[in-house]
Amino acid sequence: LPEFDVVVISNYGKGTFLDVREYMKAAQKLDIPVLVDPKHTPFEHYRGAALIKPNRKEFEAVVGECRSDDELIEKGCQLIKKYDFGAVLVTRGHEGLTLIQKDQPATYISTQALEVFDVTGAGDTVISVLAASLAVNTPLIEAVKLSNIAAGIAVSKLGTVAVTRHELFDAVHADHLKGVLSEDQMVLAMESARRRGERIVMTNGCFDVLHAGHIYSLQQAKQHGDRLVVAVNDDDSVRRLKGQTRPINHLEDRMAVLAALECVDWAVSFSEDTPERLICRLLPDVLVKGSDYKEINAIAGAQCVLKNGGEVKALKLLESRSSSEVIKHLQPEYKKEGEL
């Protein structure tokens, strides 16, 4: 045992453990925390465990029926005191998890499952991810939350399945890897999308004053894949390309507007005159630009995408639409009002 950071005892009552108390004593002698999935074994056998994880049925078989959350928490506190547990984690199916700790408020964590196809192995998933997390010194509440997310993934599949590290990463970061991203976040988001088998399209531009031509082009681009990345020139890059009076809208505003469009999944900025370096790092499945590019090879990043087995497309543009023309049209009107 000395080489282990944590010990998990999952006692199915099938005769594997002749006397589980010997395992408990051995681990405790080495100050190794023990996590227990008790099944129907008397809780007395796990005295001193760092955490015990019964489901609600197993919990109530020991403490009696709990008619309310407060009663469940109170009886959990009594177990902690009686058996010197560090914590009691009650798994409650679709009702989520309740974590009860010594001298701390109880924590309720709602279920993360969007769809439930098979609950087989959900409890094992919770204790496994919990152990792996605590072994690397993750705070208990965070470890429980991670375990809950993993269980949500497990029950969404048929049969007994292992939740992969990538699946867990994607689920944890799902809300953070969308909309306006940094370049490094963009790499992670695209890796996640590829693991899901999604086809990624990329385009780029200044998008200073958004108009119908932009919307048309972005909608056309999205039709070539599942996800659309829009690379946006930062303010200095726009000034070098368009002149010192541009951009009209600063980078943060331009990216926020783009990310709000239904057809755009991600917006990421670049500081160079062209997005070639960024495209060569991200390597989308499809690179899209407007048909004003007569030669595919003239499109920044095209060679990298083609070499990687991707596609490069030049799509038809709406005629007579450009930010520059819109700005030229508006400037005299604003000057009359003293707004420029």
Residues 197, 155 share a domain: no
* Mean per-residue pLDDT, 218-228: 96
Is residue 165's pLDDT more than 70? Answer: yes
Residues 223, 101 share a domain: no
Query: How many domains does the structure of the chain reveal?
Result: 2
Give the confidence band of 140 by pLDDT, cuts at 50, 70, 90. Answer: very high
Q: What is the model's pLDDT at position 274? A: 96
Q: What is the CATH number of the domain that holds 96?
A: 3.40.1190.20
Q: Which of 124, 175, 265, 273 is catalytic?
A: 124
Residues 26, 82 share a domain: yes
Domain membership of residue 185 (yes or no) is yes
CA quadruple 61, 65, 68, 71: dihedral, nearest 10: -70
- Among the candidates 156, 173, 190, a domain finishes at 173
Domain membership of residue 257 (yes or no) is yes
* Mean per-residue pLDDT, 105-129: 78
Residues 325, 186 share a domain: yes
Is residue 151's pLDDT more than 50? Answer: yes
What does the alpha-carbon distance between residue 230 and residue 220 come to, in Å, rounded to a whole number? 13
Confirm whether 19 is a catalytic residue: no
Instruction: Characterize the bridge pairing of strands 87-91 and 179-180.
Output: unpaired
Residues 238, 149 share a domain: no
How far CA 40 is from CA of 58, 62, 66, 91, 93, in Å, comes to: 7, 9, 18, 15, 18
What does the alpha-carbon distance between residue 151 and residue 110 come to, in Å, rounded to a whole number? 12
Range of the domain at 106: 7-173
Residues 194, 151 share a domain: no
- Among the candidates 173, 203, 227, a domain finishes at 173
Is residue 216's pLDDT more than 50? Answer: yes
Q: What is the CATH number of the domain that holds 296?
A: 3.40.50.620
The H-assigned helical ranges of the chain are 20-29, 56-63, 69-83, 122-135, 140-154, 165-173, 183-195, 212-222, 235-242, 251-259, 276-282, 302-307, 323-336
Q: What is the model's pLDDT at position 196? A: 85
Domain membership of residue 189 (yes or no) is yes
Identify which has the larger pLDDT, 321 or 226: 226
Residues 165, 18 share a domain: yes
Domain membership of residue 2 (yes or no) is no
Give the confidence band of 327 by pLDDT, cuts at 50, 70, 90. Answer: low
Helix, strand, or coil here: 201?
strand
Reported as a single tens digit per residue, the pLDDT across 101-112 is 988 999 999 886
Q: What is the model's pLDDT at position 284? A: 98
What are the residues whose beta carbons fall under 8 Å from the beta carbon of 9, sequence distance 6 or more?
A: 17, 20, 23, 24, 34, 35, 36, 37, 46, 49
Is residue 338's pLDDT more than 50? Answer: no
Residues 310, 288 share a domain: yes
Residues 327, 199 share a domain: yes
- Among the candidates 125, 155, 173, a domain finishes at 173
Residues 195, 154 share a domain: no
Is residue 154's pLDDT more than 80? Answer: yes
Is residue 219's pLDDT more than 50? Answer: yes
Q: What is the model's pLDDT at position 141? A: 94
> What is the sign of the dihedral through the CA atoms of 199, 205, 211 and 217?
negative
Reported as a single tens digit per residue, the pLDDT across 234-244 is 999 999 999 99
Is residue 230's pLDDT more than 80? Answer: yes
Residues 207, 239 share a domain: yes
Is residue 124's pLDDT more than 80? Answer: yes
Domain membership of residue 1 (yes or no) is no
Report residue 324 as tokens: 């520059």
Reported as a single tens digit per residue, the pLDDT across 2-23 is 899 999 998 777 777 777 888 8
Residues 257, 125 share a domain: no
